[in-house]
Amino acid sequence: MTIEVSTLSDTADLNLKARVDRSIYLSELLNLRSPTPLEWLNAVRDRATAIVQEQAIPTTRDEEWRFTNLSSLLQVSFQRAEAATIGYAEIQPFLLPETTNSRLVFVNGFYAADLSAVDDLPEGVLAGNLIGIAEFIPALADYLAMQPGAEEVFTALNTASLTDAAIVHIPKNQIVEAPIQILYVTIASETPKLNQPRCLTISEVGSQVTLIEDHVTFGEGVYFTNPVTEIWVAENAGVRHTRVQRDSEMAFHIGKTAVSQARNSRYTCTAVSLGAEMSRHNLEIYQTGEQTETTLNGLTVLNHQQIGDTHSKIAFSKPHGKSNQVNKCIVSDRAHAIFNGKILVPKPAQLTDAAQLSRNLLLSAKARIDTKPQLEITADNVKCAHGATVSQLEDDEVFYLQSRGLKQSEAQKLLTYAFAIDIINQIPISSLCTILANLIRTQSL
Amino acid sequence: MISENSEVILSVRNLTANVEDTPILKGLNLEIKAGEIHAIMGPNGSGKSTFSKILAGHPAYEVTGGEVIFRGQNLLEMEPDDRAKSGVFLAFQYPLEIPGVSNVDFLRVSYNAKRKHNGLEELDAFDFDDLVQSKLELLKMDAAFLSRSVNEGFSGGEKKRNEILQMALLEPKLGILDEIDSGLDIDALKIVANGVNALKSSDNATLMITHYQRLLDYIIPDFVHVMEGGRILTTGGKELALELEARGYDWVREEEVAAR
Ligand SMILES: Nc1ncnc2c1ncn2[C@@H]1O[C@H](COP(=O)(O)OP(=O)(O)OP(=O)(O)O)[C@@H](O)[C@H]1O
Ligand SMILES: [Mg+2]
């Protein structure tokens, strides 16, 4: 055995080389983008391109990426994803009866008009692809890629590559009964591909909408999906958002959801992450007005060698803001779940009421959970409750079920399901609740 | 009901067991035949619940000696779920709460596990509802209990009734009832006792653990055993329970010492 001793300057060289490699790699990803026919969009893309060009793929030395190592991503050389056609029959299992005529389908990040249908939406509600709908959305330029945090490297990469995008616009005081489903289908193949879905939802003053984003896969193979969703909730509007990530276990998924909430608005996100070899969800909520309410429910279920990371941020800025967050992770085998829950309460955000609970279930000795509340509070009159628990299945509970005839493995599955189900039940679409409940109930542990 | 020729359901010989290296059962002997009702009484900490959990197969207890034969099979070699499916049922002294699992799903899953074991087809939700409805009536339970999570927020008495509801569905050969009467008011006690009596037949048996003679007025035992220090000290008929109620346990101990 030989031991190599490197001098300080060698290490510095290595770091520099790593950084160069990581920025070269990033620029290669950037080069995969397709051109856009929209003249004005190039200005948006160029701004983001400049930001990307100054950055590199983060390392675990970056505080935000401490627990999630992207080295395995760098091992893969990705190609450009292309628009592809698939049959209605193939996506059928992912369509919800509640959204038969209120859904947008994207395949490999590209809009699939033939699979989309929006006939159930009230007049005035716009839902479709950026190309073809942009000119009908008032002040689109004020919204697209304008959320705080747009400079984050993967968000900027998505913006720099922007072509197709799901656009939903709910006009003032419009209550949309039909939930709107946005289905992102990836067709995986032997060649690793990068796809970058994009969604922009604008819910104008006093409007209400239910949104479902679902990431699904066909085929076998490695791919990298880098979706970005921006949601603008105007004054007194309400958005109920469900985000399901069920990518294949060979996928890399780095996703961003950025939400700005104006005064008196309500936003609920229920995010369920089941898939991907490595997944990350950056969920960022910016309360920009008084008396605003945010509810975040999260569930991550991982097995095998999966890594699943949720980084959430709720930034208060005005008085009487409210947030309620419950995040649950279930990990078995050698899986690794990460939860980092940032809550920012600056001085003007007096009388903020924020609650955060991180509950975790460890099903194997080799599985790992890193959970961290990150409260940065400078206002003095606030209520911020937070708690984190990591537990295992109780022997007595397993035994109780076994004593009623359930095999040990069945008992463990049922108890795991029981741990998860209250998050699933927050989803306001009953068919989706059933699908996800069954997935979790039958998932091998 | 005692009948000499009936099948031996449970035969326990010289059973010794530890929990975390501390001996709890210290040579326990017991034989139960089909059609019989047995009661075990004894002071707190004497090992009654330990014994019942060992019969059901709780992993926390280590059997260090002796044998337990259940209908000709070595019970100690069987997994807890196989014991249940073969006809051992333990009504827990402290039934567990399982938030997130509805009572009716739990009942159906366990009922179907047993049917599958017996080579029968599983019942669908529809047929199962009919079945469970009839059992609810037996225990005068409201159907609302079915949709609630297993035991979550149930009162003490409701939990005990729920245990007997499970027993009514699983129809065990050996029902072990650990303090099924504790915490019950007299009306609930009568309902639970009626349920247990209704399940009684000449080919099954019941083992009750209790501190109170009161239960034995409603479920009349053929044998009463006194347990202390992990052993059965003495065995008698139902009149022994009355004597224990009147005189406590000290005299049993003294007689046992004198007899040695
Ligand atoms: N899991 C355990 N860990 C440690 N000690 C235990 C455990 N289970 C039982 N014991 C001990 O074993 C002894 C017998 O307990 P057990 O619960 O069997 O008594 P019991 O006769 O049922 O009492 P009670 O009438 O109070 O229900 C007690 O001293 C108890 O503390
Ligand atoms: Mg006890």
Q: What is the pLDDT of residue A14?
A: 64
Residue pair A304/A275 in contact by the 8 Å Cβ criterion = no
Q: What is the pLDDT of residue A216?
A: 97
Q: What is the pLDDT of residue B20?
A: 94
- Cα-based torsion angle of the residue sequence A45, A47, A53, A54 in order, rounded to the nearest 10 degrees: -150
Q: What is the pLDDT of residue A110?
A: 96
Cβ < 5 A residues, ion ligand 2: B 48-49, 93
The span from the CA of B60 to the CA of B24, in Å, is: 12
Q: What is the distance in A from the centroid of ligand 1 to the CA of A205?
A: 63
The span from the CA of A104 to the CA of B222, in Å, is: 72
Check if B100 contacts A (Cβ < 8 Å).
yes
Nearest atom in ligand 1 to B93's CA:
27
**Per-residue pLDDT at A11 exceeds 90:** no
Check if B166 contacts A (Cβ < 8 Å).
yes
Percentage of the residues of chain B whose pLDDT score is greater than 90: 85
**Per-residue pLDDT at A368 exceeds 70:** yes
Candidates B192, B173, B181; CA nearest to B85 is: B173
Domains located in chain B, CATH noted: 8-259 (3.40.50.300)
Mean pLDDT of A187-202: 96
**Per-residue pLDDT at A4 exceeds 80:** no
C-alpha A303, offset from chain centre: 19
Question: Cβ neighbours of residue B63 under 8 Å, at least 6 residues apart?
Answer: B15, B16, B17, B54, B76
Candidates B8, B70, B17, B74; CA nearest to B231 is: B17
Whether residue A400 and residue B98 make contact (CB cut-off 8 A), yes or no, is yes
pTM above 0.90, yes or no: no
Q: What is the pLDDT of residue A442?
A: 82
**Angstroms from A381 CA to nearest CA on chain B:** 35
Q: What are the φ and ψ backbone dihedral angles of A222, each rounded to 5 degrees? A: -80, 140
Mean pLDDT of A102-113: 97
Residue pair B30/B38 in contact by the 8 Å Cβ criterion = yes
**Per-residue pLDDT at B188 exceeds 70:** yes
Check if B132 contacts A (Cβ < 8 Å).
no
CA angle, A226 as apex, A328 and A83 as ends, to 5°?
A: 130
Q: What is the pLDDT of residue A345?
A: 97
Going from the C-alpha of A348 to that of each of A260, B66, B149, the distances in angstroms are 17, 73, 43
| A400, A405, A407: residue with CB nearest B92 | A400
User: Mean pLDDT in chain B?
Assistant: 94
**Angstroms from B56 CA to nearest CA on chain A:** 6
Going from the C-alpha of A124 to that of each of A170, A172, A230, A235, B94, the distances in angstroms are 7, 10, 20, 19, 59
**Range scoring the smallest mean pLDDT among A209-213, A349-353, B243-247:** B243-247
Q: What is the pLDDT of residue A436?
A: 96
Q: Map tokens 């003053």 to a residue.
A: A205
Q: What is the pLDDT of residue A66?
A: 92
User: Mean pLDDT in chain A?
Assistant: 94
Q: Hey, how many other C-beta atoms are within 10 angstroms of the C-beta on B256?
A: 14
Q: What is the pLDDT of residue A445?
A: 42
Mean pLDDT of A157-175: 98
Q: What is the pLDDT of residue A441?
A: 86
Mean pLDDT of A407-418: 93
A441 versus A247: the higher-pLDDT residue is: A247
Q: Which residues of B touch A407 (CB under 8 A)?
A: 79, 81, 113
Pick the residue whose CA is nearest to atom 9 on ligand 1: B50
The span from the CA of A393 to the CA of A193, in Å, is: 39
Q: What is the pLDDT of residue A7?
A: 45
**Per-residue pLDDT at A286 exceeds 50:** yes
Residue pair A309/A254 in contact by the 8 Å Cβ criterion = no
Whether residue B79 and residue A407 make contact (CB cut-off 8 A), yes or no, is yes
Q: What is the pLDDT of residue A6?
A: 41
Q: Hey, how many other C-beta atoms are within 10 angstroms of the C-beta on A93?
A: 8
As a three-state string, the secondary structure of chain B is CCCCCCCEEEEEEEEEEEECCEEEEEEEEEEEECCCEEEEECCCCCCHHHHHHHHHCCCCEEEEEEEEEECCEEHHHCCHHHHHHHCEEEECCCCCCEEEEEHHHHHHHHHHHHHHHCCCCCCCHHHHHHHHHHHHHHCCCCCHHHHCEECCCCCHHHHHHHHHHHHHHHCCCEEEEECCCCCCCHHHHHHHHHHHHHHCCCCCEEEEECCCHHHHHHCCCCEEEEEECCEEEEEECHHHHHHHHHHCCHHHHHHHHHHC
Question: Cβ neighbours of residue A196 under 8 Å, at least 6 residues apart?
Answer: A81, A109, A157, A158, A161, A162, A225, A226, A227, A228
Ligand 1 pocket check for B44: Cβ under 6 Å: yes
Residue A31 is encoded by which pair of tokens? 């080069």
pLDDT tens per residue across span B198-254: 999 999 999 999 999 999 999 999 999 999 999 999 999 999 988 888 888 888 888
Q: What is the pLDDT of residue B33?
A: 97
B152 phi-psi bin (left φ>0, alpha ψ -120 to 50, beta other): beta
Q: What is the pLDDT of residue B254?
A: 84
Mean pLDDT of A401-418: 94
**Range scoring the smallest mean pLDDT among A5-14, A218-227, B235-244:** A5-14
The span from the CA of A59 to the CA of A14, in Å, is: 13
As a three-state string, the secondary structure of chain A is CCCCCCCHHHHHHHHHHHHHHHHHHHHHHHCCCCCCCCHHHHHHHHHHHHHHHCCCCCCCCCHHHCCCCCHHHHCCCCEECCCCCCCHHHHHHHCCHHHCCCEEEEECCEECHHHCECCCCCCCCEEEEHHHHHHHCCCHHHHCCCCCCCCCHHHHHHHHCCCCCEEEEECCCCECCCCEEEEEEEECCCCCEEECCEEEEEECCCCEEEEEEEEEEECCCCEEECCEEEEEECCCCEEEEEEEECCCCCEEEEEEEEEEECCCCEEEEEEEECCCCEEEEEEEEEECCCCCEEEEEEEEEECCCCEEEEEEEEECCCCCCEEEEEEEEEECCCCEEEEEEEEEECCCCCCCEEEEEEEEEECCCCCEEEEEEEEEECCCCCEEEEEEEEECCCHHHHHHHHCCCCCHHHHHHHHHHHHHHHHHCCCCCHHHHHHHHHHHHHCCC
| Predicted complex ipTM | 0.95
Mean pLDDT of A349-374: 96
**Angstroms from A90 CA to nearest CA on chain B:** 30
Ligand 1 pocket check for B60: Cβ under 6 Å: yes
The span from the CA of A126 to the CA of A136, in Å, is: 8
Check if A414 contacts B (Cβ < 8 Å).
yes
Q: What is the pLDDT of residue A8?
A: 47
Q: Map tokens 């366990």 to a residue.
A: B110
User: Residue A284: which pLDDT band, with cuts at 50, 70 and 90?
Assistant: very high
User: Residue B260: which pLDDT band, with cuts at 50, 70 and 90?
Assistant: confident
pLDDT tens per residue across span A116-140: 999 989 999 999 999 999 999 989 9
Residue pair A148/A106 in contact by the 8 Å Cβ criterion = no
Q: What are the φ and ψ backbone dihedral angles of B175, each rounded to 5 degrees? A: -100, 120
Q: What is the pLDDT of residue A10?
A: 56
